[in-house]
Structure 1
């Protein structure tokens, strides 16, 4: 097990900039404007943008946008592969060093809260995944009443249970997997990586919109993705017997399209499932960001432009 980047050793992140926020909030365009003002190159902070061919459903920056400002850690691996947090942290460190060697700033842009937290506070990888044990716990979760799996975590790792939401089955399963495979609570292994810093010591900016406006943008985003050919993209990714890996197949939008193509639901149901799950995902993102003291919040309104938001960020940093 290899601990990575505890705060005291995360020197490669000093002076880096971070722009994040919930899905569909408007990060890409603001990031482009902010990067140009900073003389920065963009490092993706999106756990799904690393997959080649998953373009529409992940709302990757277009080729034209990537030509305006150099982007890194996009299209890193095939959708059939798994890409861990540890791999991302190692890659991010190297990318930042390369950017700085060119005399440029590094601006992380994306909405994966766990990756942001690990960059800010460090990450302890824990034991390798025990897929057989994990599947066993997942079967338990499916058979238990709501909340029961979380109660089992409370019994063996109350510290982890305190910070993991009872509905966050994926993290509960992982915590139970680590305890059952090692006999040691995962929280005990992670304690040295939980040091937080105040926002004024960091350059982490969270874009935020009012709930109704955010939901409207999500609805529009999903409609645009489907009109752009999301279903055909998934067909192409799974042609000739190819399959998406565990992580890629569970991505918002892709999982629902796979169910539709498998005949498990009709098209209207698929669309509604994508929109509902995207709204829930955005809500979870907000919960994560509010739990990070390093974040400064930037409130957006209907008439906010990328330029005005970038100026607001720079003004808040200089204040």
Structure 2
């Protein structure tokens, strides 16, 4: 029997994924599944560009608002949750439409995951304490001594990824690469059409990113971070507060950067994030590339979708 269809719409931040997804969901019997590691956090709405209540009433999203900003969510958890939601959507006679820009989640869904050691809260706390005392570059140097391949891919201040790589190294005595080399491809039980939005003009994407961050600031991003700090027990090392925008607002509230620099630092960090997303896309196979800045990108999207859904 032919596998049921699914659509995966991915691309860098501010590339227009949301608008195209809503157009698809308007014209086709699609249910949206979020592929966004920031939108899983409750009460983090402005800085994650989460749809408002009226939009969610019209276009319900699965896999948003799953956990508090105090908690952690993994690519493995996403894959399990996404496959469950996709099965439920298919059983209802509809088409799963997965939308987002968390490329690690995309890779996990399409290819499966390496059998990495489970997270160890005590060891993570120790690593975070070492980073607080000596700085993440010092942990990066440790990683470079024992796992130079992974260290070469990470920037010295990439706290989240350095933490995980060092954690795996200390828990198992093995490098991340050795686990990935053993990874078995586990394709999901769906015919997935992967549409990748790749803007042809990087300058326009940068302009959009600036406008988007300005809109977040105007909507109250800083006040949102103040609220989160008051409501939850947070620290700068949590994945929620490492999200672009939140990290810069946190640093400003802590007095580490002046308010006058918040906007420029947030925009720069978002541009760097988009650059990393585009790098991920270059390394992925079986994509249908669409330029969202073209005259009629929706026509290209529907041409690809119509072909994919044809009996």
Report if TM-score (shorter chain) is over 0.5.
yes
> Given the superposition, is the C-alpha separation of residues 285 and 59 from structure 1 closer, same or farther in structure 2, using an over 3 Å criterion?
same
CA distance in 1, matches of 2:184, 2:134: 30
Which residue matches 1:225?
A: 216
Aligned length: 299
Deviation at 1:132, TM superposition (A): 4.0
Q: Tell me the TM-score normalized by structure 1.
A: 0.82
Secondary structure at 1:55's aligned position in 2? coil
| 1:311 Cα offset (Å) | 2.4
Q: Is the 8 A contact 2:90 2:96 kept in 1?
A: yes
- SS at 2:5's partner residue? coil
Over 3 Å counting, the alpha-carbon distance change for 1:252 and 1:105 in structure 2 is same
Residue 152 of structure 1 is matched in structure 2 by 145
Of 76, 85, 92, which aligns to 2:75?
Answer: 85
Q: Map Cα deviations across residues 86-144 of structure 1 (whole Å, 9 max, x no partner).
A: 22222212211211121111011000000000001111342323314533674666454
> Runs of 5+ in structure 1 lacking a partner?
1-12
Which residue is equivalent to 2:279? 287
| Partner residue of 2:29 out of 24, 31, 39 | 39
Which structure 2 residues correspond to residues 1-319 of structure 1 after superposition, within 5 A?
Answer: 15-123=5-113, 124-129=115-120, 130-135=123-128, 138=131, 142=136, 144=138, 148=141, 151-154=144-147, 158=149, 160=150, 164-165=153-154, 170-193=160-183, 195=185, 202-209=192-199, 210-239=201-230, 242-243=233-234, 246-301=238-293, 303-304=295-296, 307-314=298-305, 317=308
CA distance 1:120–1:137, change in 2 (3 Å): farther
Q: Alpha-carbon deviation of 1:21?
A: 0.4
Q: Is the 8 A contact 1:126 1:189 kept in 2?
A: no
In structure 2, distance between residues paired with 1:80 and 1:267? 25
CA pair 304-269 structure 1, distance change in 2 beyond 3 A: farther
What is the TM-score of this pair, normalised by structure 2? 0.84
Q: Which whole-Å CA distance do the structure 2 matches of 1:68 and 1:115 have between them?
A: 25
Structure 2: gaps (5+ residues):
none
Q: Aligned equivalents of 1:116 and 1:189: distance in 2?
A: 19
Q: Matches of 2:169 and 2:249 in 1, distance apart? A: 35
Flag the 1:206–1:135 CA change in 2: closer, same or farther, 3 A: same
**How far apart are the structure 2 equivalents of 1:196 and 1:92?**
14
Query: Do the aligned partners of 2:4 and 2:90 also contact (CA within 8 Å) in 1?
Result: no
For the structure 1 residues 83 and 143, does the alpha-carbon distance in structure 2 shift closer, same or farther, using more than 3 Å as the test?
A: closer
What is the DSSP-based 3-state SS (H/G/I as helix, E as strand, rest coil) of the residue aligned with 2:67? coil
Question: Aligned-residue CA RMSD in angstroms?
Answer: 3.0
